[in-house]
Amino acid sequence: MILLQKAFSLLFSIIELLIMIDVILSWIYIKDNSFTRLIHIFTEPFLSPGRKIQDRLMPGLPVDLSPIMGLFILWIIESIVNTLLGIF
């Protein structure tokens, strides 16, 4: 069970790192390539709900808050998984 908890912890840490890399890449103009597409594949499920919420509540905001919301969503999922793994 401890091995499974460590594996999930590593997975969540990698996703957090990929979100941070996605934020940094958004500041730098890089043409679409396989590396950026790979990062977007892993980060988009966490960032798209934040973008939808931001567009609905604050349309036209020049700052993208979706990485913060994405990290919050990831934190909630991590808490749920840790709780479920702690029960079993």
Q: Is the pLDDT of residue 88 over 70?
A: no
pTM, two decimals, is 0.86
Q: Do residues 61 and 54 make contact, with C-beta atoms less than 8 angstroms apart? A: yes
Residue 82 CB neighbours (<10 A): 14
Q: Which long-range contacts (CB under 8 A, 24 or more apart) does 81-86 make?
A: 81/8, 81/12, 82/5, 82/8, 85/1, 85/4, 85/5, 85/8
Tell which residue, 31, 5, 22, 32, has the closest CA to residue 68: 22
Q: Is the pLDDT of residue 87 over 80?
A: no
pLDDT digits (tens, 9 = 90+) for 6-44: 999 999 999 999 999 999 998 987 788 898 999 999 999
pLDDT digits (tens, 9 = 90+) for 45-73: 999 999 999 999 999 889 989 999 999 99
